[in-house]
Each structure stands twice: as structure tokens, then as C-alpha cells.
Structure 1
Amino acid sequence: MLICSAYDFYPKPIKLTWMRDDKEMTADVTSTEELADGDWYYQIHSHLEYFPKPGEKISCVLEHASSNKAMIYDLGENRADIIITGAAGVVLGVIMAAGGLIYYKRRHKG
């Protein structure tokens, strides 16, 4: 579940959009209405149920009168391959360390 929130904006109208690979997403998105903070400002929250796929780029896009252009917050590309490579490196490191320890113990028994 990904969350995109905007705080302390005025006036009230704001547009919050989720993008997957530069295409607007509407499925699996839930958003609150603009909520008053009680000090003339508003906040809004949006949730995206997200099932990662390798190479995808997910973005939260905010459009508001206080900015001339859309504010785009890239949540990065899903890089599962990097995580898998890192985990494989850790496993290999543990195996090498265990092998080195066994070799050391056998060599220095006497």
C-alpha cells in the first residue's frame, strides 16, 4: 500500500493523481476529500494498492493553484532485480565466510 499526502494547502481545490509508467491509474485508488486543518489550510490523502512489477515507475502527481505546474513525486522504479542481487550477495558472503572459518579451524587444530 502506497500513500501520497498533501498538507497545508489553500485554496481547497486540489487534484491528486497516481501514475504508473506515465499512465493515469484509477483502479485500486482510494482518496479522502480535502480535510480542513482548522487554520484555513487543508490536507488530502490517497492510497494505492500496489502490486510491484519489475521496471515499473510509480508517481504521485499533485496539481494546485499555488503552483504553475504539476508537482510530480516519483516513488522510483520497482527494482526487484537489485534486491534479489543484493540478497544473493549476502547469501554468497555467508557461505564464503563459513567456508573460511571451517578451513581456519581445520588448519589450526594442532
Structure 2
Amino acid sequence: MLKQERKNEEKCRIHVPLAYYVFSKTVEPYVRLRSAELISSRHPIVLICSVYNFYPKNIRVTWLRNGEPRTSDVTFTDELANGNWLYQIHSHLEYTPRLGEKITCMVEHASFKDPKHYDWDPMPESDRVKIAVGTAGLLLGSVVLLAGVIYYKRNRTGRVLVPVR
């Protein structure tokens, strides 16, 4: 009986610090901010602030409009367990865009020293890439066209045309 108690005590000494170490760690969340169009609402778009893979569970997501907290037209999901000790949460802001307005998703979590701000950019990254590729193609085409015109002019002016009889 005493031997069994000593074995149990030894197991506790090994596993308690391990459990304390695991549960005292924080995991910084990954945040994604995007927009979607709404069909049946008084606002044309909804902004979605999705916060993924964080630990511990306690987190606060706040919408800011020009630096001021926004509470109307805001919905949240509960903290959802991923099944791997990590959590996720989603917040929605129904929104009517206004010129010069800055919308921010602010996330406060134990893994952050200070709250982090994620600004909404009305032009998605994929659109920026398409514009950049199109602009690069246009510039390359212009350079090739200019080189062709210069080549044509140089070769044309160096020749003397003699009429054939």
C-alpha cells in the first residue's frame, strides 16, 4: 500500500509541473478581416473579423469607427473550440461605407501586450494583385511597342528607295 502511494506521489510530481506549463502558455491568435455583400439588410455590406487559433479562451473583439467603439449592428459568435485546445470567434459589423471613414477590428487577448488593431481596407488583396499585374503588363507592352517603333524608324530612314522601271 505504501509503495503504491509513493508511485502515485511520484507521478504527480512529474505530471503537475507539465500540466501547469501547458496550461499557463498563451497562443497568439490569427486575425482575418474581410467583407461580404448583404442582400436583405439596411446596410450593403458586412465586415467579418475572424479570430482563429488562440488560447486561453478569454478574448475581446471590438469594432472601432474612427477610433470610437461601435456597438450597434454588431454580432458575435461564442468562443468556439477547435478540438485541439485552441479557440476561434467571429464578429460581424453590418456597415454602410462612408468616404474617409476608418473601420478597425480591435482584438484584446492575454497573448498580446497591448490590444492589436486591424484596419479594414475596402480593396481586397486579390484586387490589388490584379491591378499590379495589369499595370506591369501595360508597361511591358508599351516598352516593346516603343522599341519596335524606334527600330522601324531607324531602318526606314537609312534606306534610299529607288523606283524600279
Please indicate, yes or no, whether the TM-score normalized by the shorter chain is above 0.5. Answer: yes
Greater strand fraction, Structure 1 or Structure 2: 1
The one of the two structures with greater contact order (alpha-carbon pairs below 8 A, sep at least 6) is 1
Shift of 1:76: 3.7
CA RMSD of aligned residues (A): 1.4
Who is 2:80 aligned against?
35
Who is 1:60 aligned against?
105
Greater helix fraction, Structure 1 or Structure 2: 2
Shift of 1:57: 0.2
Letter in 2 for 1:40: W
Calculate the TM-score normalised by the size of structure 1.
0.68
- Structure 2 unaligned regions, length at least 5: 1-45, 124-165
- Structure 1 unaligned regions, length at least 5: 79-110
Who is 2:67 aligned against?
22
Map Cα deviations across residues 24-60 of structure 1 (whole Å, 9 max, x no partner).
Answer: 0000000001000000000000000000111100000
Shift of 1:77: 7.3
- Where in structure 1 do 4 or more consecutive aligned residues deviate above 2 Å? none
* Identity value in percent: 56
Are positions 1:4 and 2:49 aligned together?
Answer: yes
Secondary structure of 1:17's aligned partner: strand
Match of 2:114 among 69, 74, 77: 69
Q: How many residues align?
A: 78
- Distance in 1 (CA, whole Å) between partners of 2:61 and 2:50 is 9
Letter in 2 for 1:15: R
Matches within 5 A, 1:30-109: 30-76=75-121
